Amino acid sequence: MRKDRRTMPGVLILCSPTSRIMFFLGGHRRRCDRLLPTRSRVRALLADRSLTSERSILPAALRTHRSVGGSSILSVHCNKWGLTMNKTHLCFTCSWLLLPVALIGTTSASSQQEPVAYSGVTESRLMFQENCAVCHGGELEGAAQGTPLRGDLVHGESMADVVASIANGYVDSGMPSWDDIFSPVQVQGLAMYVLETRANVGYVTSNYDAPLSIPEGEFETELHSFRLETLVDDLDPLPFSLAPLPDGSLLVTEKTKGVRVISPDGDKSELVRGTPQAYDDIYQMESRIDIERGMGWLFDILLHPNYQENGWIYLYHGHRCEDCTDLSRERGRPVSMNRLVRGRVDNGEWIDEEVIWQADLEHYSFAGDVGAGGRVVFDSRGHVYFSVGAKGGMQGVQDLSTPWGKIHRINDDGTIPQDNPFVGRDDVYQSIYTYGHRSPQGLEFDRTGGELWGSEHGPRGGDEINLLLPGRNYGWPLYSLGLDYDGTPVEYGKDLGVEFELSDIEQPVVDLTPSPAVSSFIISDSDQFPEWKGDYLVGSLKARSLFRVEIEDNQFVARETLFEGIGRVRDIEQAFNGDIYLLFEHNAGGKVARLVPVE
């Protein structure tokens, strides 16, 4: 650590050699020299009593006091904080900041508060309320001095449009520019906050408990009208996948339970006996988002293209084991990794199981299955594609010797196609088809164009629909069109010491910012909805919506919201007769609904 007294009189800043702290006080800017790495700490000892005695200059929500040796400690837990102190701007570019403030006297017990954790979204909210709400309203509804930010935006609604509006302003219309007040990172965070608020998809919202009620009315959309018809409404809260059968029945996986069959009339069978074990020891982690976690879950289920001749059903699951690796034995904890098996169902029993793909045990992970990916699809030549999310950590996503953060491709019997992009290379998973994936959610093969497509979660913004090309790098964790959760650009490559050219990263065909939390999708060819043929019907979790996306010549054309705010759409599938089914998840119980065309 080195001492830097250049910042302002009476203030001692302790900076690590790789930190940067910037103060804007009275128009003067000083800084430590280098970038602060993630999770490092900076301590600022403010010794000037004339400054620190006026503790009210900080927003009350940010002040946490406790008595230490006759002084008070003001702790601000933050990610890349920008604090507005009246009209003097104090901008900390930091990861987790502890700001001890020497105050006159002691703080009484009655004034003590519990520490509060803050993140980039909180910073952006405060920035908006303190600087923008006077014109645009606290909920974007507009105010006497300005215009609302709901509805159509005159200057564009994309992330780039809103960033430009904030940074440059429109002086002739009375809106000042903010690029000389806020840093580029703060402007991006503020723009993201506006877009998230407009779309009601704040990144800390999961909507597992939001009401799930299938409306009885008609949905009128640009090309078709339809209604939703509930088929079954008492599934486990965490279903994952549907597989339509030729007789009109549906196979359904419940992540923590097993496999069931749903009849065309909505009757639900008992669990199929003998499938790979599903574990229900769900736990909640302290995190930004209230997502249930666990390992050893069931994922996708689908039929072999020649199912009516061979009866094969493919089941993708988190294979969990204890005492199976050195790490699991050392820590006395289970590990897991995605595994693909196939079998047949006979009289309610899973038989003839074969393991089609399994990772090396050394790559099994303590990480839960919530980010495991878990989708499988066949192409028209009998190849099987399956996704493995960033389950083993960011360090391995760009590493071809690890299975996670990848889309894999194998033959239907588990052998490796000889035209796979990395066949013949040593020390790699030769099943890898693409890499650089964060949290793949959907996987579909366009049988008309002969192309593989995938949907994927970004961090805060940056959800994607990608054309998946062999051997290509899709960027994570080096780059994303979204922001990190603390409001900063995604630049984990710097932490990992990875150098890359942006031209080497495949860009998404469709960027969904702010993030609706895209899920599964289909490329529709249903005769029941002829005007949707060739369009992508994309589910979402956080936004609880269904979108129709038009893509022509591998370029994004348009997006329409078919419905919104109904429920978390975990899967969407098209049946043999053209019926389109939706699988909803909810804490009160999962549901299956069918889209019924209305003439």
Would 331 be classed as within a structural domain?
A: no
**Domain C-terminal end among 118, 148, 182:** 118
Q: From CA 514, how far away is CA 411, in angstroms rounded?
A: 37
Would 33 be classed as within a structural domain?
A: yes
User: What total of structural domains would you count in the chain?
Assistant: 3
If asked whether residues 153 and 193 sit together in one domain, one would say yes
If asked whether residues 189 and 306 sit together in one domain, one would say no
Q: What is the pLDDT of residue 284?
A: 54
Q: From CA 565, how far away is CA 17, in angstroms rounded?
A: 48
Chain center to CA of 408 = 21
If asked whether residues 91 and 151 sit together in one domain, one would say no
Residue 439 sits in a domain whose CATH number is 2.120.10.30
Would 211 be classed as within a structural domain?
A: no
If asked whether residues 302 and 182 sit together in one domain, one would say no
Please check whether residue 100 is in contact with residue 12, taking contact to mean a CB–CB distance below 8 angstroms.
Answer: no
- What is this structure's pTM? 0.79
If asked whether residues 509 and 594 sit together in one domain, one would say yes
Question: Range of 65's domain?
Answer: 2-118
If asked whether residues 298 and 153 sit together in one domain, one would say no
- pLDDT tens over the chain, length 599 residues: 333 333 333 333 333 333 333 333 333 333 333 233 333 333 332 333 333 333 333 333 333 333 333 333 233 333 333 333 322 233 333 333 333 333 223 333 333 334 333 357 778 888 899 889 999 999 999 998 888 999 999 899 889 999 999 999 998 888 899 988 888 888 988 998 899 899 888 766 677 777 788 998 999 999 999 999 999 999 999 999 999 999 999 999 999 999 999 999 999 999 999 999 999 997 655 544 556 789 999 999 999 999 999 999 999 999 999 999 998 999 999 999 999 999 999 999 999 999 999 999 999 999 999 989 999 999 999 999 999 999 987 889 999 999 999 999 999 999 999 999 999 999 999 999 999 999 999 999 999 999 999 999 999 999 999 999 999 999 999 999 999 988 889 988 888 888 899 999 999 999 999 999 999 999 999 999 999 999 999 999 999 999 999 999 999 999 999 999 999 999 999 999 999 999 999 999 999 999 999 98
Would 22 be classed as within a structural domain?
A: yes
b/e map 305-323, b = 16+ CB within 10 Å = eebeeebbbbbbbbbbeee
DSSP annotation string for 294-322:
-SS-EEEEEE-TTHHHH--EEEEEEEEES
b/e map 385-398, b = 16+ CB within 10 Å = bbbbbbbbebbbbb
Q: What is the pLDDT of residue 64?
A: 34
540 token code pair: 């979402």
Would 539 be classed as within a structural domain?
A: yes
Would 500 be classed as within a structural domain?
A: yes
Residue 168 sits in a domain whose CATH number is 1.10.760.10
If asked whether residues 261 and 153 sit together in one domain, one would say no
